[in-house]
Amino acid sequence: MQNRRDFIKQSGTACAAIAGLGFLTTLESCSAPAAVTASSYDAATNKISLPLSSFGAQNKLVIGGPNGDYNIFLIKNSDAEITALQLKCTHRGHGVNMQEAGLHCPLHGSDFDFSGNVTNGPAKLPLKKFPVKIENGNAIILLA
- Distance in angstroms (rounded) separating the CA atoms of residues 48 and 22: 10
- How far apart are the C-alpha atoms of 12 and 138, rounded to whole Å? 31
Query: Rule CB under 6 A: is residue 47 a binding residue for ligand FES?
Result: no
Stretch that binds ligand FES, among 44-52, 56-64, 73-81, 89-97 (CB under 6 A): 89-97
Q: How far apart are CA 3 and CA 135, in angstroms?
A: 31
Query: CB under 6 A: which stretch of 50-58, 72-80, 88-96, 129-137 binds ligand FES?
Result: 88-96
Contact 50, 42 (CB under 8 A): no
**Should residue 86 be labelled a site residue for ligand FES when binding is judged by CB under 6 A?**
no
C-beta separation of 83 from 72 below 8 A: no
- State which of residues 4, 47, 76, 91 lies at the interface with ligand FES (CB under 6 A): 91
Binding site for ligand FES (CB under 6 A): 89, 91-92, 94, 105, 107-110, 122-123
